[in-house]
Structure formats: C-alpha cells, structure tokens
Amino acid sequence: MIGKVVGQLACSAELAALRQQLTGVEAERDRALQERQQVLRGNIRVMCRVRPAHQQQQSPSRSPAATAAFGAAHGSCIGYPLEGLLAVHDASTARQREFEFDAVFAPEASQQQVYEEVSPLVRSCADGYNVCIFAYGQTGSGKTYTMDGPADNPGINTRALQELFSIAADEVDHSWSFQVAMLEIYNEAVRDLLAMSASIGGGSGAASAAAVAAAASAHTVEVSGLPAGELPPNMDRVPGLVWRKVSNTAEVQAALREGVRARATAATALNAASSRSHALVSVKVQGVREGKAFTAMMHLVDLAGSERVDKSEVAGQQLKEAQAINKSLSALGDVVAALQRRGAHIPFRNSKLTQVLQDSLSGSSKVLLSRRQWRLLRPSTQEPAAAFEGLSHPLQPHGPADILKDHGVID
C-alpha cells in the first residue's frame, strides 16, 4: 500500500515536472511565433488612433442618413470600413478615400486595446531587441493621452513597464533590471528631465522662473555621435544621463510624474508650450538570457505637434520652435526613408532626435535586430481637408506623397 502511494507520488511529481516543461516549451514556441509574425509584418508598423470628438466638434449639419451611412456616430468625416482601413469622406466631391494601417483604432478604443497591439514590441524588448514607439500627430490629437494618459487610465508608458515587470516575475530564473530616464528635446537642445526635477525640487513650482531657466540650461546634455558599435556596453548614448531604477508601477509613475512636472515647469519658465518639444521616456532593460547578459533600450516618444506652421503667421520664438520641429520631424522621415532603402549612409546626425534614437532605429549590433513602431494619432474631425493634412506626414512607410497619390488625393 505504502509502495503504491510512493509510486503515485513519484508519478504525480514527474507529471508536474513534465507539465512545467511543456509550459516552457509552449511559451518558447509562442515567442518564436510572435517573433516570426513581427518579421513578416515588417519592422516598421504604423497604426492610427482617432481621438473622440469634443462636443463642439460634433456636426449638427450632417444629415442623419449621411452620418449613419458613414458609420460616424461622432459627426466626423472619418469612417472605419474594414479592419486596418480608415476612410475619409469628402462631402463636396462625394468621394471616399481609404488609408491602410497596421491597425486602426476608432474613438471608442480603450487604452488597453491600444496597448495590446503594442505589447508584442514590448515583449521583444524583454527578448533583447531595441524598440521605439512614437506618437505622431497634430496638436490636440491625443499623443500625450496615448503615451502618458491619466493616472487612473494610464497609456503606453506605464503599461509597457507593467508588462516588463510581469515578464520578469514569470521568469524568475533570469535576472532583470529596469531603469528609466526622461528627456525633452526643445529647439534642438536635449534636457535631462529627471536631473532637472532633482535640482528644482521635483518641479513643484516653488523655484523661481530664473532658477528653472538656469536648471534647464545646466541640465542640457550632449548626445554622443559615436557609431553604435563603439558605444560603451551600457549603451549610454547620452553620457551622464540620470537613470532611475524602477521595479514596480508606483516607482514608474512617480518617475514619470517628476519628469512631466519638470517639463511643464521648464515650459512655463521659458514661456513655451510643452507640446512644442519632443518628450522621451527611455527604458533600459538589462537581463540575462541563456547565460548571456544583454542590454536593450526602449524609447517611448511623444513627438511635438506635427502641424505645419505657415511662416508668415508666426515670428520670433514661435518661428524658431516651428523650424526646430519641422527640421527634426523631417530628419526622422529621412532616416526612416534611408533605412528602408537600406542606404549606406543613414543621416542620424541631422537632428538631436534622430541622434538620441539611433540605436533603436538601426539595430545596436549584428545579433540584435531593431524593432520600431510609429503611431499616428488623428483628431476626429469634420473637415476632410484637415483629415488629409493629418494623414500627410513624413513618417508614412511609403511616404506621404505616395499614399496620397495612391488614393487620388493629390496628383
């Protein structure tokens, strides 16, 4: 009898071990599948999220039939005919044009639904790949909402770190470390927001405008121009940048809040709108995989508003800001185009933004590929012209002109 029980116990222990092995194999297979899917879908993915319309943007003049026909309960000229397709209806010509994306999110999409599309990229960062996620769009289109989001319904930044923590918790046999840094690029100057926050008391507003301006200049940092292969093993492209170790969501949110406050305080002191700068949350993931130590970088980027400013309408500081934004967004577009052409020369040095991001755009070594993703966010709008303007930008995978030509918007 005892022998039988011992036999049964041994059997169930063996079964449990086998089950555990099977789970491991399944997880490995899922990861490989996901990886393969990423390769098939390409390294650059473009998604589009349409922000809910504000009350005053709803169109009372659109006939109920037209609204229903276009599926636009939001009183918008934008429709969602099929998965991955966004349609813009031009009532004046009665024509509808469609734009294709890797994913399209209608206004009712939740932060979680948006995050789920991004999640495979975050997982690949935990596998040692460099990743870049951008929010691109006009002012007010929802970039900050999508990346940062309200505290009780956070966006991609917090959710990405939560997922990294949960991967680390599931894989206890690997050692992990996570650090975050925050940068702002304003008029081609790169600022270390966490360092600034420390010197102005967390950006609580107590410091005088002069002290904040002095801190902003003191924490303006240099970006190394070294090729990826020559960077130190910790991949610090910005020497001396403050990295904050984080191991739970509360620590992440505290760090993000500090950086956001420092950015807003600097903007007030410098009399600028914070949306006129690019904001970067950089995440450094260090771990050991199959006995080998790796460092992977993920940049989560809230780009400055993309609208083109007519030079005749602005002057002085605003003109300088607009020029700096146009320059850096064009530089980003040029880098993407050169990478897609597999050009011998990739013009990273043409802007601070592309210099800071270069390791995550090009792949940091022969072994580790780079993953990048572009997000496009549009305001829900009644005006087809504004929607087309929003859809023409330098970061389209095929280039704005190609897409607009393909769709007959321009000749």
Answer yes or no: is 24 a known binding residue: no
Rounded to a whole number of angstroms, the minimum distance from the CB of residue 137 to ligand ATP is 5
Please give the single-letter amino acid code of residue 171: E
Smallest distance, ligand ATP to C-beta of residue 276, A = 8
Whether 403 and 396 have beta carbons less than 8 Å apart is answered as yes
Question: Is residue 378 within 8 Å of 51, Cβ to Cβ?
Answer: yes
- Rounded CA separation 142/101 (Å): 18
Among 275, 354, 355, 382, the residue binding Mg ion under the rule CB under 5 A is 275
Measured from the CB atom, the residue of 128 and 155 that comes closer to ligand ATP is 155
Q: How many residues comprise the chain?
A: 411
On whether 142 is known to bind a ligand per the annotation, the reply is yes
79 labeled part of a ligand binding site = no
Residue in the block written with tokens 């400013």: 309
State the binding partner of 142 from Mg ion, ligand ATP, none, CB within 5 to 8 A by kind.
Answer: ligand ATP
154 vs 287, which CB is nearer to Mg ion?
A: 154
Q: Are 162 and 170 in contact (CB under 8 A)?
A: no
> Is 287 labeled as ligand-binding?
no
CB of 263 to Mg ion, least distance (A): 10
Q: Which amino acid is at 175?
A: S
- The answer to whether 381 is annotated as binding is no
Q: How many other CB atoms are there within 10 angstroms of residue 392's CB atom?
A: 17
**In the stretch 249-278, what mask flags binding to ligand ATP with x, by CB under 6 A?**
--------------------------x---
- Of the candidate spans 11-19, 87-95, 107-115, 140-148, the one that interacts with Mg ion by CB under 5 A turns out to be 140-148
Confirm whether residue 140 is marked as ligand binding.
Answer: yes
Distance CA 340, CA 398 (A): 9
Question: Between residues 140 and 397, which has the closer beta carbon with respect to ligand ATP?
Answer: 140
Q: Which of 96, 144, 220, 249 binds Mg ion (CB under 5 A)?
A: 144
List the Cα angle 308/49/117 in 5-degree steps: 130
Inter-axis angle of helices 249-269 and 156-170, to 10 degrees? Answer: 150
Among 137, 259, 390, 394, binds ligand ATP (CB under 6 A): 137
Of 252 and 377, nearer to ligand ATP (C-beta) is: 377
Minimum CB distance to ligand ATP, residue 323 (Å): 17
Catalogue the E-assigned strands of 124-213.
130-137, 176-186, 189-192
51 binds ligand ATP (CB under 6 A): yes
Cα angle at 88 between 48 and 277, to 5 degrees? 40
Q: In terms of CB distance, is 107 or 287 closer to ligand ATP?
A: 107
CB 203 within 8 A of CB 261: yes
Residue type, 62: R
Residues that bind ligand ATP (CB under 6 A): 51-52, 137, 139-145, 275, 305
Residues that bind Mg ion (CB under 5 A): 143-144, 275
* Numbered residues of the known binding site: 137-144
